[in-house]
Amino acid sequence: MTIWTVQGLYGAQFQVEGGGSTLWPGAQFKVDPAWDYSTSRRTFVFTDDDTSLSGDSNFMADEYGNDSTQSVAVYDASGALLYSGRVYVEWSSTFTDPSGAVVHMFTLEIGGTIIGEVTTSPLTPGVTYHVSGVNDGMSGADVSSGPLYSALASMTFDPDLVNVIQGGAYNDSIAAGAGNDTIATEGGADTIDGGAGNDSITFGTGGDCVHGGLGDDYIDDYVGTTGYVWNDTLFGDAGNDTIWAGSGNDLVDGGADNDSILGEDGNDTLLGGTGADTIQGCAGDDSLDGGAGVDMLLGGAGQDTLHGCDGADLLAGNGGNDLIYGEADADRIYFETDWGRDTVFGGATTTAGGVDYDVLDFSYDTLGGVLVTFTGSEDGTATQGANSVSFDNIEGIYGSNLADTVNAAADASGLTIDGAGGDDSLIGGSGADVLSGGSGDDTLSGGAGADTIVMADGAGNDFITDFNLSLNGGLTADQLDVTELHDGSDSPVTVRDVTVTDDGLGNARLTFPDGTSVTLVGIAPATVQAPGMLHAMGVPCLVAGSRVATPRGPVPVEALRPGDLVTVRDGPPLPVLWIGTRRVGAAQLAADPQLRPVEIGAGRLGNAAPVRLSALHGIAVPGGFLARAGHLAATGWGGARVRLGRSRARGGVLYLHLLLPRHALLSVEGLWVESFWPGPIGIAALDLAAKATLIRALPALAGVVWAGEPVQKAYGPPAGKFLRRCQIDRALCANWSHISRDLTHSDGFVTEAAATRTAFTGKGNRG
């Protein structure tokens, strides 16, 4: 006697379309998509003295077969015995699998009781099979000679392994489970679930529903389905998925993580979900929704609707008359050649750490210059030939490489306008605008407000028609940002690199080493000849060389790095979030005394060694107040003196800014001084690169930097109240020095009543 073991299944695990449980010619059925070898298998252990499984010669009659020696023991997946006894084939069914192979399935019985099925090829759960023939035993001889035992195949499907699953031409329902699966279906309305793992799913015609499941999935329509139009529903679920929707009006949801979605033909609804998604509508009137995250949305042909949602998104309607919503945070809307007639709503809301800074970008337009006209604050229109866009809540314009005209005179919010290439005309409004002509010979007018004009290498020969030189707190009302200008050795330009001449009409022309120039219309050259006028800036910061108290001991300020802990007066140590630097050259120090550091002598305010600070830096003084270093020196008190005068200003000075999670007092050589306060004066002293790194270090400051939001709302209160210059005299400084000698370096404050005269009880002043 020989033993054969085969893994099979049983009738309750079949799903017959149209209901019922009987398989007749023309019927369609599938194995339960949830079938799992580990829990669903039925094990048949055959014992026989020959090599074939004989059939019953009478339909549903007991033991009419011609083989009395064959028997079987049947076990479930747990190993429990279900049946045993003499076994026969009761009937068989014939069908074709998706590969084209003919499959026979044999239904077994013991004593007239159906005990299960075995097949000549494994069946794939969820795949629909079409029955082509049934041998039912009604004629007696139909199944009397059964299959060879060696021809039987075991069911081994385990959804948690790596599977290759081929669907057929009918309505399949496939659940692949865990593992990196490869799934392909053809015709029929299929339901596919890739499960966990990085799956590759190819769906066919018929209008399918696909779930990629967990993992980085690739979902695409069946190659060769051109000409077929089906409306599919596709879900990437979690993971970085790539989804091609194919023809038809499809619904695609990328789900969590960073997805790439292409709608292709049809009027599609494409949802990015959370994560940094790339969504392209292609042909048709599509609806694109980026969801949360930094997304890229491209509409394609047709009249598309784009929603950036949360995050700093990139959006482009491309062809057609599109409706574009940037929504929350800093979005950038691009316009290509022949963009159509679009409507753009930039949005005015922000997420935590975000900033409302939406930009229209025309850099891909090549047909002609763009005319942008603001009709109110952040609202207006832009046209180029037959193309137009009406916009709302837009804070920035980036022009084309042709001659653009931007007129923002009606705006009062403060815009950022970059002309890019070409000879542009840029007009700001009444707010604090940032204007950059880019390359080409541009004409710039900032309008009212404290404006910044950005210059860069290769910017051409620009004209500024209304540059405001009025001084306010040591700064001119309008500012030139020359961060991106360099001298012949690729170092940032200084006052020594600027040549001031007359343009022949009495206007001052400033020429930089690479030939870039800017002409200040209406301003005589003599007015800006002095280096101090070109560098009228005051920045609170520390001087390199001073040692800052940390939990590991005093550390030179220039040796600190972001993440290092520093000792603060009013709490546990705080990490350094950001370090900014600014080098002031010898020529600048010689020309402008306001830029020279102030030295607090050793022992004068409790400090063990001399400390050099900028003139505007805040120092803790007895009584709970802060006083500016420059104000102390201005009293004539010998403990604070301006250093690096004309005779010694040879090497320049390096100032550093230390930003903490909140404004606090640091111990520098035992002197309590303020950390960097990101107020208007401090921000104005930073170049664009420094501002960008500052925001990366503390995103909550984005609104302060770009939109002028109140610093206390985003950053918290200052570490103390500032005394006005008129409240400080030489005698008071001497009194503070006497008190400080009696204090420890761990607490530089005493009570206000003990240390302050009644004349100095007024409010402090941050500026």
What's the pLDDT at 537? 31
pLDDT for position 538: 26
CA distance 328 to 356: 7
pLDDT band of 758, cuts 50, 70, 90 = very low
Does position 123 have pLDDT exceeding 90, yes or no?
yes
- Each residue's pLDDT tens digit, 560-569: 888 999 999 9
Contacts (Cβ under 8 Å, ≥6 apart) of 292? 273, 274, 275, 309, 310, 311, 351
Which element (helix H / strand E) includes 117? strand 113-119
The arithmetic mean of pLDDT across residues 679-703, rounded, is 85
**What is the rounded average pLDDT of the residues 731-748?**
65
What angle (nearest 5°) sits at the alpha carbon of residue 266, between those of residues 262 and 268? 60
Phi-psi region of 529 (alpha: psi -120 to 50; beta: other; left: phi over 0): alpha
Q: What is the pLDDT of residue 472?
A: 62
- Strand pairing category for 233-235 and 251-253: parallel
DSSP string, 530-582: SHHHHT------EETT-EE--TTS-EEGGG--TT-EEEETTEEEEE--EEEEE
State the virtual CA torsion across 399, 401, 406, 411 in degrees, nearest 10.
20
- Residue 505: partners with Cβ closer than 8 Å, 6 or more residues away: none
DSSP string computed for 439-460: SS--EEE--SS--EEEEETT--
Given a cut of 50, whether residue 747 has pLDDT beyond it is no
Q: What is residue 73's predicted lDDT score, i.e. its pLDDT?
A: 97
Write down the pLDDT at residue 761: 22
Q: Please give the domain boundaries of the chain with CATH numbers for all domains.
A: 2-151 (no CATH), 542-760 (2.170.16.10)
Average pLDDT value for residue range 79-92: 94
Task: Tell me which of 601 and 627 has the higher pLDDT.
Answer: 627
From residue 667, alpha-carbon distances to 15, 130, 364, 576 in Å are 78, 83, 52, 14
**Helix (H), strand (E) counts: the chain:** 10, 63
Residue 762's pLDDT is 24
Whole-number pLDDT of residue 531: 61
Nearest by Cα to 674 from 662, 666, 684, 682: 666
Region 341-361 average pLDDT: 84
- Phi and psi for 730 in degrees, rounded to 5? -65, -40
Task: Report which of 438, 358, 440 is spatially closest to residue 392, judged by C-alpha positions.
Answer: 358
The whole-number average pLDDT for the span 421-434 is: 94
> What values do phi and psi take at 15, rounded to 5?
-120, 115
Half-sphere exposure of 23 (CA within 13 A, CB side): 27
Residue 316 DSSP SS3 = strand
How far is it, in rounded angstroms, from Cα 757 to Cα 140?
A: 121
3-state class of 142 per DSSP?
A: coil
Q: What is the pLDDT of residue 139?
A: 46
For residue 432, the model assigns a pLDDT of: 85
- Give the pLDDT confidence score for residue 535 in this predicted structure: 55
- pLDDT over 80 at 453, yes or no: yes
With cut-offs at 50, 70 and 90, classify the pLDDT of residue 601.
Answer: confident
With a CB cutoff of 8 Å and minimum separation 6, the contacts of 273 are: 236, 253, 254, 255, 256, 257, 259, 291, 292
Q: Which of 716, 591, 583, 602 is CA-nearest to residue 651?
A: 583
pLDDT at residue 278, rounded to an integer: 93
Supply the pLDDT for residue 31.
94
First to last CA, the chain: 103
Question: 35 to each of 8, 156, 462, how far by Cα in Å?
Answer: 11, 10, 74
Q: Point out the least confidently predicted range of 563-572, 594-603, 690-699.
A: 594-603
- Maximum mean pLDDT: which of 235-244, 467-476, 727-736: 235-244
**Residue bearing the bigger pLDDT, 163 or 4:** 4
- Residue 417: predicted pLDDT: 94
Mean pLDDT estimate for the chain: 84
- Sequence letter at residue 55: G
Name the pTM for this structure. 0.63
**Spatial separation of the C-alpha atoms in residues 189 and 171, rounded to whole Å:** 5
Give burial (CB, 10 Å; 0-12/13-18/19+) of 306: buried
Top mean-pLDDT range of 137-151, 263-277, 725-739:
263-277
* Phi/psi of residue 448, nearest 5 degrees: -70, 165
pLDDT exceeds 90 at position 262: yes
The reported pLDDT for the residue numbered 206 is 82
Using a pLDDT cut of 70, give the percent of the chain over it. Answer: 87
For residue 543, is pLDDT > 60?
no
Q: What does the pLDDT look like over 9-49, one tens digit per residue? A: 998 999 998 887 778 888 899 999 999 999 999 999 999 99
Q: Report whether pLDDT(541) > 50.
A: no
Candidate from 386-390, 441-445, 729-733, 758-762 with smallest mean pLDDT: 758-762
Instruction: State the pLDDT at residue 228.
Output: 66
Alpha-carbon Rg for the chain in angstroms: 39
Does residue 405 register a pLDDT over 90?
yes
